[in-house]
Amino acid sequence: MRAAACPPCGCNAKCTGIHNGLIAKKFPKSAPPRRVYVMDENFSYPFHMDATNSGEMIPMISEITCPDDKSALCADIMSGLPEWFEEPDGIAACAGLVTGLPVLAHTDSGTRTGFIALKYHPPAAAEIFVIATRREFHGRGIGHSLLKAAEAHARRSGCSLLTVKTLAPRGRHEPHLDSTRAFYGRNGFLKAEIFPTLWAEGHPCLFLVKPLH
């Protein structure tokens, strides 16, 4: 099922027809609990029915517009992932920079579980500036969903490439970084180049790209 173009309204209205431009189907109370994903035609906002078949529309991916909310979410989630984000000053700097970038957040039952921020490089490229998911929600496919939403955002902006930078292998036991690189590989990113000193000595930068066909 697909919904008409409309941003998430965030309401809890129960509906059997069109509500604020969204097409919602309400299942009978006797139906088995299930989730139904409804995608916005223009931006691919996913929504789902709750497990009680109440018909409540809960936004799963939405764009944050308030700069303070962007900054607070970024700092909150990154601070809980010290393996990936080691330096408090770096977290603070990132939290400041995302205020001026498009930020998409994944929400589950009222909790913002992850986010992705995009930086555009006209005319053809969008860069994943930062992506992170709360530790307790790892392994649930949230990162994949955020990437898909970012790809839709980039396509809508006329981009043909999605790029990201991460740490390249550096001869250490760093399974968290191995999993990060594997995550991008599973999601169609190609290793383009390694820049040994772009960030700092001992922090080689791996540059990955994904064509948006």
* Domain end marker among 43, 59, 75: 59
Question: Both 140 and 197 in a single domain?
Answer: yes
In the block, tokens 């603070």 appear at: 92
Q: For the chain, list residues with pLDDT below 70.
A: 1-59
Report pTM.
0.75
CATH number of the domain within which 175 lies: 3.40.630.30
pLDDT score at 109 = 86
Question: Both 10 and 85 in a single domain?
Answer: no
Taking the C-alpha atoms of 171, 177, 183 and 188 in order, what is their torsion angle to the nearest 10 degrees?
Answer: -50
How distant is the alpha carbon of residue 139 from its chain centre?
14
Question: Both 69 and 165 in a single domain?
Answer: yes
Whether the CA torsion 175, 181, 185, 188 is positive or negative: it is: positive
Question: Both 132 and 71 in a single domain?
Answer: yes
pLDDT score at 205 = 98
Neighbours of 56 (CB within 10 A): 17
Rg, C-alpha atoms of the chain: 19
pLDDT score at 18 = 28
The DSSP secondary-structure symbol of 40 reads E
Q: How far apart are CA 210 and CA 182, in angstroms?
A: 14
Residue 22, SS3 per DSSP: strand
How many domains is the chain partitioned into structurally? 2
pLDDT score at 203 = 94
Question: Both 17 and 93 in a single domain?
Answer: no
Question: Both 19 and 120 in a single domain?
Answer: no
* Domain end marker among 59, 82, 102: 59
By residue range, what is the domain housing residue 116?
62-211
Taking the C-alpha atoms of 185, 172, 88 and 135 in order, what is their torsion angle to the nearest 10 degrees?
Answer: 50
